[in-house]
Amino acid sequence: MSLPSELAAWLLMGLVSGPAECVVPLTASDIFFLRERGVVMNFCTISLAASGVAGSVMVSLISICEDWRVIYYVGTGILGLLVLLIALSMPNMAY
C-alpha cells in the first residue's frame, strides 16, 4: 500500500464515519420522549467508547493473522455497510 492509497483510505473512512456521530442524536430526538433521551444517549456514548476498545482488540487479531493493510479494507467495508444500512433504514431519507 502506497502513501497516496493510504491517505485515500483515511479520507474515505473519515468522510463516511462522520455522519454516524450525528445521526444517532437526531434520530433519538425524533423517536424518544425528552425523559427517555438520556438513557438512549448514554447507551450511544458507551457504545462509541467501547467500540474503540473492541476495535483495537479486533485490529490486533487481524494483524496477527493477516497483513496490516487488511485492516483498512476491513474498516472500509464495515463503514460502507453501515452507510448502506443508514441510507436504507432512516425514515426521512429520500431515495
Residue scoring higher pLDDT (45 or 16):
45
pLDDT tens digit sequence for 28-67: 888 888 888 888 888 888 888 888 888 888 888 888 888 8
Look at residue 95 and tell me whether its pLDDT is greater than 70. no
DSSP assignment string, 12-29: HHHHHHTTHHHHHHHHHH
Q: What does the pLDDT average to over 7-12?
A: 83
Domain ranges of the chain: 20-89
- Give me the mean pLDDT over the 23-31 stretch: 79
